[in-house]
Amino acid sequence: MILKASVRYSEYHTEPVVYQNYQAALDTYNKFKALSSSAQSKHMMTTEEFIKKIIDKKKDQLYKLQRENDPKEKTNMMHEVARGKKISKDINGNDLNDLMNAMKRNFEMFRKLKIKADKEGSTLYASQPISSDNPVSTVPLASPSIVSSGTDREGPRSPQWSLKWLK
C-alpha cells in the first residue's frame, strides 16, 4: 500500500515539515477499525514492544555479519602474522585457537594444491604449440656489426665488436 504525504523544507525549521495525506490516513484508520478485535490486538503493540522487536532484529543481523566476517578476520590476521607482525599478548584464547585453525586450513589447502601440481607436472617450461597458419617472424639475435667467435663446442662465446663504423 502506498500512502502519500507532502514534505516541505523550510529555512525557518530545523527539520522538514510533513503534511500527511488526510484521505490516505483516514482510509488506513478505517481499515484498522474494520478488522475484528482479535486482528486489531494482533497488529497493536506498544512503543517498548516495537523497539524491542527492532533491537532483536538488529541483533540477529549483527550475529550473521559477525559469523560472515570471522573467517575473513582470521585469514587477514594469519597473513599479518606471516608477514612478521607479532601476536598481541592480550589475544583471547578462542581467537588464538581460531587463528591456528585458519592457519591449519590454509596450509592443508596449499599442501593439496602442491601435491596436485606435482602430479600434473608444471606447465611453466612446457612448449606451446605454434599454429602453422601464422608465419613465425625471425628476429636476429645479434646486430650485423657483431661477429661471434667460437662455437658451442669450444666454450662460451664472446662477441668481438667490429670497428667498421670508425672508418
DSSP symbol at 52: H
Check residue 66 and give its pLDDT: 92
Check residue 132 and give its pLDDT: 60
Number of domains in the chain: 1
Q: Does 58 or 149 have the greater pLDDT score?
A: 58
Specify the DSSP element, H or E, that contains 97: helix 93-120
87 belongs to a structural domain: yes
128 belongs to a structural domain: no
* Spatial CA neighbour of 77 closest among 101, 61, 109: 101
91 belongs to a structural domain: yes
Residue whose entry in the numeric block shows the C-alpha cell 591449519 = 104
Q: Are 24 and 14 in contact (CB under 8 A)?
A: no
Query: Tens digit of pLDDT for each residue in 15-71?
Result: 777 767 777 777 877 888 888 888 878 777 788 888 999 999 999 999 999 999 988
Q: Could you tell me the residue range of the domain that residue 46 belongs to?
A: 5-118
Average pLDDT value for the chain: 75
- Residue 61's Cβ-side half-sphere holds a number of Cα atoms within 13 Å equal to 6
101 belongs to a structural domain: yes
126 belongs to a structural domain: no
23 belongs to a structural domain: yes
Query: Tens digit of pLDDT for each residue in 71-97?
Result: 888 888 888 888 888 887 888 888 888
Q: What is the pTM of this model?
A: 0.40
With a CB cutoff of 8 Å and minimum separation 6, the contacts of 18 are 5, 6, 7, 8
